[in-house]
Amino acid sequence: MKRIADQYLMEWKDSSYRKPLLLRGARQVGKTYAARQLGKTFSNFVEVNFEAEENIRNIFDRDLDPERITRDLSIILRQEIIPGKTLIFFDEIQGVPKALIALRYFYEKLPSQHIIAAGSLLDFTVQEVGIPVGRVTSLYMYPLSFFEFLCACDYDLAAQEILKSSIDHSLSEPIHTMLLRLVGEYLAIGGMPEAVLNWKTTKNPLLCLDVHRSLIDTYRQDFSKYAQKYQIKYIEKLFDSIPSQLGKKFKYSAIPGDYRKRELAPCFDLLNIAGIIHPILRSFGNGIPLGAEADLNDFKVIFLDVGLSQAMLGLDLKAWLLDPEQAFVNKGELVESFVGQEFLAYAYPSQKNNLFYWRRHVTGSEAEVDYLIQDKAQVIPVEVKSSMGTTLKSMHMFLESHPKSPYGIRVSMHDYSMLEKIKSYPLYAIVQVALQNRQEDIKYYNALTER
């Protein structure tokens, strides 16, 4: 399956300002596959998995000289390594912190050597040893976006039409209906690469559910790798409870059992570092950066992937496939999670991005806007409407109290439209919302649709 990350990786490969690259993201989102695909464009590809090849770990004990390291790797692996023609890929690098530190010296002493590192729990090692400032760059990966899902399932032409459509140029009714049906498919299957590939080849949702359950077990098995022994019971309870709080202000008190915030909060942070969950922080939304006014004690949360969320909740996937419009109405919290997942997938991949929302606490006049995004130097409110209703009371309250925000965005089953200060986008067109001021990146999305 082609990924947007492939386009950024090719740009990295050809850049004269290239630095060693860290592929970052949760387990099983496609990091290793992306590195291997890039490796096919080189004369030689050298892959080192530090979990599977423990004998190579000792290479970094002597010193961190990149020329010696590449020479030793070449001898041990019996593969030629030629700077400029060979891609070195260090997988599961979190097991060898010195290898992470060594990336700095590749940049300083051997800049012509292409080198990528990744790891399922890489961010924990990054927190431990740090990243050499200005010496290493990052590329964040997430589950497949809906746009990538379309391309993976051979709906390339439909994906092209989404990029061409706009508020003034909507799609025909049959295409609009088809794309909403495909959004329903995505909400059932999610964006984890293995599940998407399974769906493409079998169209069997039960087999996709098996993939989700296997991935969930894998995430559970990882707990012991990054949590203290006494934290395991807390992180397991938290992990199980998060999907039931989708769309709501997160409350530790809502987790069943006699648990305290001071026990659970550190475990929440661990799941966040692992990329399994994403908090949506409350921001007052008066200006940018949105994080400057964020309330760290008031947040919602979404899971890594909507397909995994439903597997954990034990929900029946048939509704998304048989009657998606009704499912949109009945499962609004999952639709809201889908939109958050989309915003992360389309964000600038070179930095870790955060999600924000707005809530007004005024007795008798409370209001909440699902997401706040940035349009250049302006804050834009985004409301997710899973039904065909048109009430946007909270949106109007935000715009009235934030005169510097020029307009708001509604994402729903409705087609494109513009009414007063509200722009409406269909659920399948979040890619346009995210890329509206990033013309330089649209070329990557167009390239993805080419067969």
- Which whole number is the average pLDDT over 154-158? 95
Q: Which residues contact 4 (CB under 8 A, 6 or more apart)?
A: 145, 147, 148, 345, 349, 444, 445, 448
DSSP three-state, residue 167: coil
Residues 158 and 290 in one domain: yes
Q: What is the pTM of this model?
A: 0.95
Which of 110, 140, 170 terminates a domain? The answer is: 140
Residues 308 and 443 in one domain: yes
Of the ranges 152-166, 252-266, 360-374, which one carries the lowest mean pLDDT score? 360-374
Which of 140, 175, 192 terminates a domain? The answer is: 140
**Neighbour count for residue 18 (Cβ, 10 Å):** 17
**DSSP letter assigned to residue 421:** T
Do residues 156 and 163 make contact, with C-beta atoms less than 8 angstroms apart? no
pLDDT tens-digit series, residues 314-363:
988 888 998 888 888 888 999 999 999 999 999 999 999 999 999 998 77
Beta bridge partners of 45: 87
- Which whole number is the average pLDDT over 62-72? 95
Task: Count up the domains in the chain and report the number.
Answer: 2
Residues 237 and 339 in one domain: yes
pLDDT recorded at residue 390: 61
Give the residue numbers spanning the domain of 406: 146-448
pLDDT recorded at residue 436: 85
Residues 420 and 321 in one domain: yes
Residue position matching structure tokens 């596959």: 33
Residues 224 and 343 in one domain: yes
Of the ranges 377-381, 390-394, 410-414, which one carries the lowest mean pLDDT score? 390-394
CATH number at residue 115: 3.40.50.300
Residues 118 and 173 in one domain: no
pLDDT at 252 over 70: yes
Residues 314 and 375 in one domain: yes
**DSSP letter assigned to residue 169:** B
pLDDT over 90 percentage in the chain:
84
Residues 167 and 299 in one domain: yes
User: pLDDT category, 222, cuts 50, 70, 90?
Assistant: very high
Residues 166 and 225 in one domain: yes
Do residues 143 and 346 make contact, with C-beta atoms less than 8 angstroms apart? no
pLDDT recorded at residue 1: 84
Residues 33 and 76 in one domain: yes
Residues 122 and 161 in one domain: no
Residues 70 and 173 in one domain: no
pLDDT tens-digit series, residues 301-324:
999 999 999 999 998 888 899 888
- Which whole number is the average pLDDT over 102-127? 95
pLDDT at 223 over 90: yes
User: pLDDT category, 113, cuts 50, 70, 90?
Assistant: very high
DSSP three-state, residue 196: helix
Which of 94, 120, 140 terminates a domain? The answer is: 140
Alpha-carbon distance 444 to 3, whole Å?
10
